[in-house]
Amino acid sequence: MNSRSVTRLLLALLVVLPAQVWTQTQVARPNTPPAAPLQPAEPRAPREFPEFRGAWILDESAGKGGIAGIPVARTLMIATTPTEISLVKDSSTTEVYSFDGTETPHEAGGVTLGFSFRFTLVADGLALTTRRTRNGGSLTNVVTDAYTVADNALTIERQLSVVQQPPGILVTLSDPRSNRQTIVYRRDTQASPR
C-alpha cells in the first residue's frame, strides 16, 4: 500500500467511523423510555400594536426630506385587530395590511386599483409597503414606510424604490437623495384617548 492509499484509508476512517458510532448510539438505547407525545402549545394572546392606534396629525415643523409625486397625509387614523392593521389617510379609502405578511390588493367598489399592501414587523417597528405597477407593468414603485411610536409621536421613515421588469432589478434613481423622507405625526389626544 502506498502513502496516498494509506492517507485515503485514514481519512475515510476519520469521517465514517464517528458517524457510524453516533448513529448506533442514537438507535440502540435499550434503557431510554419512549418520547412523550408533543402537547399542543398554550394559546397566546395576539399582538395588536395598541401603541399605533388612534388619530394622528402631521407635525409640519418636524421631519425632513421629500419624495416627488408621493403626497404626505395631514391626518392618519390607525386601527388594529388581531389579524391586521388599517390606515385611513386624509379620509381617503382604507389601506389594509395583514399581519401574516400576505400581499393585499387595494380595492375600491370591487375594483382592484393597481396597488398592493404588505406588512412586515422589524424590531418593534412596522414596515408597511405599498407596491404600484406603472408603465404597463415595466416599472413598479415600492414605497416602504417604517412606523415607530415614542411617547405621543409617530415617526415614519419612508423610502421609494423602483423595480424594473424584466429582469426584476432595483433601478438607481437619478437623484438618490430624493428617495427618502422622515415624517412625524403627533397623537390627536382629543380624538383618540389611549
26 is a domain residue: no
CATH assignment at residue 135:
2.40.128.20
194 is a domain residue: no
172 is a domain residue: yes
Pairwise CA distance, residues 168 & 135, whole Å: 14
Q: How many domains does the chain have?
A: 1
Higher-pLDDT residue of 110 and 181 is 181
**pLDDT value at residue 61:** 96
Report phi then psi at 38, rounded to 5: -70, 135
15 is a domain residue: no
Hunting for cell 485514514 — which residue is that?
A: 10
23 is a domain residue: no
Strand ranges (DSSP E) for the chain?
Answer: 54-58, 64-65, 75-80, 84-89, 94-98, 104-108, 111-122, 125-134, 139-150, 153-164, 169-170, 180-187
Convert the pLDDT of each residue in 112-168 to its tens digit: 667 889 999 998 899 999 998 887 778 888 999 999 999 999 999 999 998 888 777
Pairwise CA distance, residues 69 & 134, whole Å: 13
**pLDDT value at residue 7:** 53
- Pair 140, 131: CB distance under 8 Å: yes
Upper half-sphere CA count for residue 75 (Cβ side, 13 Å): 11
Over the range 77-105, which residues count as b (16 or more CB within 10 Å of their CB) and which as e? bbbbeeebbebbbeeeeebbbebeeeeee
How far apart, in Å, do the first and last CA atoms of the chain sit?
83
Convert the pLDDT of each residue in 56-69 to its tens digit: 999 999 999 989 88
43 is a domain residue: no
Of 135, 140, 90, nearest to 115 (Cα)?
140
Is the pLDDT at 28 greater than 90, yes or no?
no
Query: What is the three-class DSSP state of 44?
Result: coil
* Long-range contacts from 103-109, C-beta under 8 angstroms, 24+ separation: 103/131
159 is a domain residue: yes
Which residues span the domain enclosing 109? 50-187
- Pair 118, 106: CB distance under 8 Å: no
Convert the pLDDT of each residue in 42-92 to its tens digit: 888 888 999 999 999 999 999 999 898 899 999 999 999 999 999 999 988
Helix (H) or strand (E) holding 12: helix 3-27
**pLDDT value at residue 11:** 44
Burial label for 183, CB within 10 Å (0-12, 13-18, 19+), is buried
